[in-house]
Structure 1
């Protein structure tokens, strides 16, 4: 019996020994294979988590803006966004300088962006005439687009029915604030340069009427001056030349305590230059911004590493104006409103795409994105006109920056 037990124990010992010998350490290749499998599983879990979060990975935002000759700062704002997110997420198209005569080109350029299935939103600044038709055509190929239309050139009732969000500097409030600012700067007369096309825009016409009304209240003479339309036969260069020649005539006739304002972007550079040369007053550009017209008009060279640097630009403008003995005679808003509409608009569109907004029109998130850009509080209201309230049409107002 004892021999049998010993024999069984011997067999068990051999089996255990053989099993132990069979458990050799994994080879390097086998270990790598296991690590790869483990990593693959982790990556798969990560991808599943990202998918579960609802975030859209293959997204693009189209930006429709003017050319450098029409309004450089808007195009530069689009470039800033492109640098931030890259071509895989940002598309830039421009509308023609003569957009009134070439609306089909504007429409075609917007549609070309909408045809890309990855484009989830289009930010349109400025939303020039033809924008409403372009939005209609874009929705035919991409019905779920989020469309943000900044600085519209079409009737509020038209553009607000086409775009999801409409953005506009508070033109009506400016009818008061600009005259108050001109008065503060010592203006005795106020020259308003525009042309029939712009005066056909209800908001610009209403603001002009407020200019006249407030000038009368504050003891300032209002002068309504007609300039050539930059989209007309004379083009941008003809309109700019007119301003360069007319401002000196106005100052000679009305004196240096004359404030000047123009409704057109391409006129700002010659207007600022002439005002400074003549020692007159310039309360605000049409699109309030330290970048709008000031660098070119004042001959300020902007290094590549300072482009888009608001503090640097304000410092340089203040310095040049002081050197020319014009301190306190020129002013603007502390941030570029058109650039804010583009850059803040893109950030809002991205938040919408990633499911971080309450639908297409989320007022709180929109205001948050603009205040993050401006680094200051902004006043944002919905437009009311002729008894109509447009819930998706927002007007923006900021205070003045005195140079």
Structure 2
């Protein structure tokens, strides 16, 4: 069992850091996130930041659900935040296509604007050149850790759901390739399944329905000792539901966090007085997983990765605004990531798959995992 004092790191760090932080200036921070349908966790993180820092200090906008087709809207949303002269830094959660072009346009009118790009969808090296800081979970390292977790939970087959757009992203494609090699080492059969792109004609509903229908087919074909993974946030909730119902294995979400899809999939209500209580949500998930017969076959990270990155980036951004932080400070950014994501995270900086190019301002990290019901 984990004590609240340990697992409540995000909530406690947030309260301790923000209580009594009063800046003399009136600098503001802009935050762009997905909608609740595309990325509920990141949206809720922005709302939490507004509660903590004040609605007068944060401008929050969202990128469109069909961001691939509406990149101009994304650009305009980012530009709208930059129009306010009091906005000194902008946090992008996630850096969907169009972000790089938007940063260029903002820099034309606001060359001093500081950008923190969380989970960039565009080329990693280009993203690092455009933004001042990029943050992401360490997908190459997760290519190994996710398969190791699946093996630990008894997987004999690993189903990887994705689609061409995601496989065009270097970090995700590299992770897939590493997963294939790791499965060979672990004696696990790797199976790639093309799923509908949620930004396509079928939309999020179509992609979710596909997952609900396909998981039982795969379990019937490969057996219950099959681990399932999807690269898309919107697919996680139906994936958890189907995996639990069929008795299969779920090692980790695309964006690992106790709050990502688990509460919705398992019907967990979070009381107002338990918001941010990581110990509560971990215990609630464990109870539901046990009840559904999935003990020892479901896992995630002990901390909310995307929310932690958003909290850390926002505090860093306000530091830029009030002058207490100057430009890119790797040590400070890592310090804040550990503050909100736990001291146990392992950080590194981006190195291209060929090993020839790197980006020191692109920080990657891996968190600690927990298997539910044990």
Q: Is TM > 0.5 for Structure 1 vs Structure 2? A: yes
Please give the alpha-carbon distance, in whole angstroms, between the structure 2 residues aligned to 1:132 and 1:240.
29
Q: Secondary structure at the match of 2:193?
A: strand
Alignment of 1:190 with 2:158, yes or no, is yes
Q: Secondary structure at the match of 1:123?
A: strand
Alignment of 1:128 with 2:122, yes or no, is no
Q: Match for residue 332 of structure 2?
A: 365
Q: Match for residue 378 of structure 1?
A: 345
2:80 corresponds, among 102, 112, 120, to 112
Please give the alpha-carbon distance, in whole angstroms, between the structure 1 residues aligned to 2:192 and 2:342.
36
Please give the alpha-carbon distance, in whole angstroms, between the structure 2 residues aligned to 1:344 and 1:238.
34
Per-residue deviation, 1:356: 2.5
Q: Match for residue 392 of structure 1?
A: 361
Judge conservation of contact 1:56–1:353 (CA < 8 Å) in 2: no
Q: Counterparts in 2 of 1:237-256, with a 5 A limit?
A: 237-256=205-224
Q: Which moved more, 1:184-193 or 1:343-352?
A: 343-352
Please give the alpha-carbon distance, in whole angstroms, between the structure 1 residues aligned to 2:225 and 2:29.
46
Per-residue deviation, 1:56: 5.2
Judge conservation of contact 2:117–2:134 (CA < 8 Å) in 1: yes
Query: Structure 1 length normalisation: TM-score?
Result: 0.85
Please give the alpha-carbon distance, in whole angstroms, between the structure 2 residues aligned to 1:285 and 1:124.
21
Q: Match for residue 20 of structure 2?
A: none
Q: Secondary structure at the match of 1:168?
A: strand
Per-residue deviation, 1:322: 1.1
Equivalent residues, number: 348
Q: Match for residue 51 of structure 1?
A: none
Per-residue deviation, 1:363: 1.1
2:179 corresponds, among 211, 218, 221, to 211
Per-residue deviation, 1:304: 2.3
Deviation readout 1:91-123 (Å, 9 max, x if unpaired): 100000000000000000000000100000000
Q: Secondary structure at the match of 2:95?
A: coil
Alignment of 1:168 with 2:128, yes or no, is no
Per-residue deviation, 1:189: 0.3
Deviation readout 1:198-219 (Å, 9 max, x if unpaired): 0001111111111111101110
Alignment of 1:139 with 2:107, yes or no, is yes
Q: CA RMSD in A?
A: 1.0
Q: Secondary structure at the match of 1:69?
A: helix
2:243 corresponds, among 244, 261, 275, to 275
Judge conservation of contact 1:306–1:312 (CA < 8 Å) in 2: yes
Please give the alpha-carbon distance, in whole angstroms, between the structure 1 residues aligned to 2:279 and 2:324.
31
Please give the alpha-carbon distance, in whole angstroms, between the structure 1 residues aligned to 2:171 and 2:132.
19
1:231 corresponds, among 199, 211, 215, to 199
- Runs of 5+ unmatched residues, structure 2: 1-22
Please give the alpha-carbon distance, in whole angstroms, between the structure 1 residues aligned to 2:142 and 2:344.
17
Larger Rg: 1
Judge conservation of contact 1:288–1:336 (CA < 8 Å) in 2: yes
Question: In 2 relative to 1, CA 398–250 (structure 1 residues): closer, same or farther, beyond 3 Å?
Answer: same
Q: Secondary structure at the match of 2:116?
A: strand
- Runs of 5+ unmatched residues, structure 1: 1-54
Q: Secondary structure at the match of 2:120?
A: coil
Q: Match for residue 153 of structure 1?
A: 121
Please give the alpha-carbon distance, in whole angstroms, between the structure 2 residues aligned to 1:240 and 1:374.
29
Q: Match for residue 253 of structure 2?
A: 285
Higher RCO, Cα 8 Å, sep 6+: 2
Query: Structure 2 length normalisation: TM-score?
Result: 0.91
Judge conservation of contact 2:36–2:43 (CA < 8 Å) in 1: yes
Per-residue deviation, 1:156: 1.1
Deviation readout 1:8-58 (Å, 9 max, x if unpaired): xxxxxxxxxxxxxxxxxxxxxxxxxxxxxxxxxxxxxxxxxxxxxxx6511
Per-residue deviation, 1:149: 0.2
